Structure 1
Amino acid sequence: MTDSVQAHPGYIGEKDKVLARLKRIEGQARGLQRMVEDEQYCIEILTQVSAMTSALRSVALTLLDDHLAHCVHDAIAGGDDAAARLAEASAAVARLVRA
């Protein structure tokens, strides 16, 4: 289902925003490591883990939305197999829900 190559990914218009979010998440991960190294209170660490999880979910939803709006839409409009593209998107949603 990933056999056709896009000229550019669907998130290209959001690339700077996605990268900025990922850099903040990277900073959150380093902060979590410091909290554990400094033996911070468990609940404070869990609060930060929750914030980081939410931030990752936000990035995932942005990528999924862009994938549906661009990659899937363009594939269907271009005559590609709609059922295959929708199955690919559905599998991605299932992975996000399980995560």
Structure 2
Amino acid sequence: MAKDSLIERLENLPQDRKAMLNRLRRVEGQLRGIQRMIIEEKPCYDVLLQLSAARKAMQRACIEILKNYLQKCVHEAKAPDFDNLEKLIEALIEISPAARAHSPEGDE
């Protein structure tokens, strides 16, 4: 059996996954733009402003992925997978701005 091409797989994705890929492509474009700003020696403030916007966009993408996964778990699961739920909770805590601000890694 031949595997579907990547293009065929992309075309057959559910709408929520297509939306997520589009969101990630926009973030990717933002990051490329920031790289270009650095090469062109744009003012530090402008670069930092764009970095902040890209970080917020990534946080929103993380939240959307978690939200979609949780909805899927709740609607499709007959019995909750507590190991997976625990990992999701840890991920939510990790992407939380408040948690990142108080952790040693928050300065990265």
The answer to whether the superposition gives a TM-score over 0.5 is: yes
Contact 2:27 2:58 in 1 (8 A): yes
Q: Give the alignment's TM-score, normalised by structure 2.
A: 0.69
**Percent same amino acid among aligned pairs?**
34
Report the Cα distance in structure 2 between the residues aligned to 1:79 and 1:50, rounded to whole angstroms. Answer: 39
Contact 2:38 2:47 in 1 (8 A): yes
User: What residue is the counterpart of 1:28 in the other structure?
Assistant: 30
With over 3 angstroms needed to count, the CA separation of the structure-2 counterparts of 1:92 and 1:67, relative to structure 1, is same
Q: Between Structure 1 and Structure 2, how many residues are aligned?
A: 86
1:79 maps to 2:79: yes
Structure 1 unaligned segments of length 5 or more: list them: 1-11
With over 3 angstroms needed to count, the CA separation of the structure-2 counterparts of 1:28 and 1:61, relative to structure 1, is same
Structure 2 unaligned segments of length 5 or more: list them: 1-13, 101-105
Contact 2:34 2:50 in 1 (8 A): yes
Report the Cα distance in structure 1 between the residues aligned to 2:64 and 2:46, rounded to whole angstroms. Answer: 27
Report the Cα distance in structure 2 between the residues aligned to 1:85 and 1:27, rounded to whole angstroms. Answer: 31
SS in structure 2 opposite 1:65? helix
CA deviation after TM superposition for structure 1 residue 90, in Å = 0.9
User: What residue is the counterpart of 1:58 in the other structure?
Assistant: 60
Higher-RCO chain (CA-CA 8 Å, sequence separation at least 6) = 1
1:94 maps to 2:96: no
CA deviation after TM superposition for structure 1 residue 13, in Å = 4.0
CA deviation after TM superposition for structure 1 residue 34, in Å = 0.6
